[in-house]
Structure 1
Amino acid sequence: MNLDHVFVCGNPALDFAATLQARRSVRFEMWVTPDRLDAWYVESGIVDAVSPGEEADVERARTVREAIYRLVTARRLGEAYDGTALTLVNDAARKPPAVPRLTPAGRWTQATQDEALSMVARHAVELLSGPDVPLLKECGNPECTRVYLDRSRGMRRQWCGMDSCGNRIKAAAYRARKKTAPVAARTDEAD
């Protein structure tokens, strides 16, 4: 079941936090039903299968997601962690993760909702305590609030992804230049 989740941030915890989009303007919630959360866990590659979620699982995931976002933002800005957010992420990470099994077809990871959430929280702990912290950047699109890992040469990446934000910003800039180009040309001719 593909629900068009986007994975451009470079880390599952960052992609998890990005499921609430445009936090500064018209918020867009990706997890409107439990099956959307279930699909995210599978599409992200965190697990191969997850037990069906319920509304309580969605609420718990949203709470942990917002805690991850607050911690990532604080770390990116060099600010102190929010104690409540720290507790929420650590409590989720403390639960047992899903255990992969080897099958004749390869690796298979089946998870409960708590196990899948624990795996995401563990990714957040590893990210925020590891060497990739200096690579954390927020998308340059003013409407986007995704945080991503900038692994580009020279760390000059400006957008979370070209397909999502980069092309939109570049197209808008092009249209703005085209609108002002004739005006500028007429002003030059009048001189």
Structure 2
Amino acid sequence: MRHVFPCGMPALDFVGTLQERRAPVPIERIGSPGLLDSWFVESGLLDERPGSDQTDLRAARDLREAIYALLSARLAVRPLPVAAVAAVNRQAAGVPVVMRLCPAGSSRSGAAAQALAELAREAVEIVAGGEAVLLRECGHPDCTHIYLDRSRGRRRQWCAMRTCGNRVKSAVLRARRRG
């Protein structure tokens, strides 16, 4: 499966693995241990599939929802939820991914728990860092991706122009032509 990475940071893209959160039936992009493994590799967190199991999948989904709760609180300028802070801190304290220098450059290896620890640490940096004020949610009505708006003028509206931006602009154009 090809996963999507419109947000530019693994922790933010990881939150986007549950798409259309406000829909009656959200779209789950890591519905199995195998899909979680492929996400880790495609995101660049690991070079090889770690062999995740159902426990890893539950931990990943729990972390994803904790990160989403923290990001949502930051977006709404609310206090951070205590349970989400504890969950992210617990994961962030884990063993990091192993990086090695090799003839081809570098390699990243580890278990699913190590990849989750990397995601949790990045989430801490985002939520607690100075760039938290740049957090935005995609302007497409069905999309719930959260990204950092580093654009000139801070006027970015979509997680990705090639997907959500094009859909919104096409819909506006179609409506204008009909009207």
TM-score (norm 2): 0.96
Deviation, structure 1 residue 142? 1.2
Instruction: Give the unaligned 5+ runs of structure 1.
Output: 181-191
Of 3, 8, 11, the residue aligned with 1:10 is 8
Deviation, structure 1 residue 144? 0.7
Residue 18 of structure 1 aligns with an amino acid whose one-letter code is G
Ranges of 4+ aligned residues in structure 1 off by more than 6 Å? none
In structure 1, distance between residues paired with 2:57 and 2:37: 9
After the TM superposition, which residues 60-75 of structure 1 pair with which residues of structure 2 at under 5 Å, given as runs?
60-75=59-74
Q: Is residue 38 of structure 1 aligned with residue 33 of structure 2?
A: no
In structure 1, distance between residues paired with 2:108 and 2:158: 32
Q: What SS does the corresponding residue of 2:98 show, helix, strand or coil?
A: coil
What is the identity percentage for the equivalent residue pairs of Structure 1 and Structure 2?
48
TM-score (norm 1): 0.90
In structure 1, distance between residues paired with 2:20 and 2:7: 15
Hey, what does 1:127 align to over in structure 2?
126
- What is the aligned length? 178
Q: What SS does the corresponding residue of 2:123 show, helix, strand or coil?
A: helix
In structure 2, distance between residues paired with 1:177 and 1:57: 48
In structure 1, distance between residues paired with 2:48 and 2:119: 15
In structure 2, distance between residues paired with 1:96 and 1:58: 18
Root-mean-square deviation over aligned CA pairs = 1.0
In structure 2, distance between residues paired with 1:177 and 1:104: 56
In structure 2, distance between residues paired with 1:7 and 1:82: 26
Deviation, structure 1 residue 134? 1.2
Q: What SS does the corresponding residue of 1:109 show, helix, strand or coil?
A: strand
Bigger radius of gyration, 1 or 2?
Answer: 1
After the TM superposition, which residues 100-111 of structure 1 pair with which residues of structure 2 at under 5 Å, given as runs?
100-111=99-110
